[in-house]
Amino acid sequence: MKSSSVFFFFLLFLCFTQLGAQSYENDLKIGLGVTHYPSPNATSLSFYGEFSRPFLPNTFIGISAAAALPVEYIETLEEHKLSSYHFAMNMYFAIFDQKKQNFKIGLGVSAGIFDIDWKVIDTGQIGRDHTFQPGLAILMEYNLIFNKRFILGVTAKGLLYGDAKSVIFGGLHGGFRF
């Protein structure tokens, strides 16, 4: 078993145990954002969700998932339709964590699934490429907390995969603490 898989399962275990849990609550957020693919320079609407919980003082762990709507683009005489799905185990450090707001930065281990439907313009030949890419995530998040239970915030993520499949994501989310 690879060390990244062991790390992933270790974070997953910690996410659902009481080890190091503090007096404040878990966060559950869902949101809407924009996914940008630097290569092939395409942008798509995305949906995402995240569950996070306190781990150590000023440290949070969480799991997240995102799905980007298909985006079409043309590249060297081929038409492409790209869909992607992203999953990550994240660890955040709170730069500040107050009753009404918090700002967190973090790193994560991510996995991306990319589906590309393509068509050669000249010949009409069609095909589909399906790839799975492990990678790293760089994260930043700012949240406003209302009435000690409701969250409204923004997030920015850089998902770094191999084979020029990096993704930049930004979005708005809402959620609650429990």
With 60 as the cut, is the pLDDT of residue 1 above it? no
- Taking the C-alpha atoms of residue 152 and residue 143, their distance in angstroms, rounded to an integer, is 6
Please say if the pLDDT value at position 4 is more than 60. no
The number of beta carbons lying within 10 Å of the beta carbon of residue 152 is 15
Q: Which residues, including other chains, have CB under 8 Å from residue 58's CB and lie 6 or more apart? A: 93, 94, 97
* Banded pLDDT at 17 (limits 50, 70, 90): low
Q: Is the pTM of this model over 0.85?
A: no
The pLDDT assigned to 7 comes to 62
CATH fold of the domain at 3-177: Porin (2.40.160)
Q: How far apart are CA 160 and CA 114, in angstroms?
A: 13
| 36-72 confidence digits (pLDDT tens) | 998 888 899 999 999 999 988 889 999 999 999 999 8
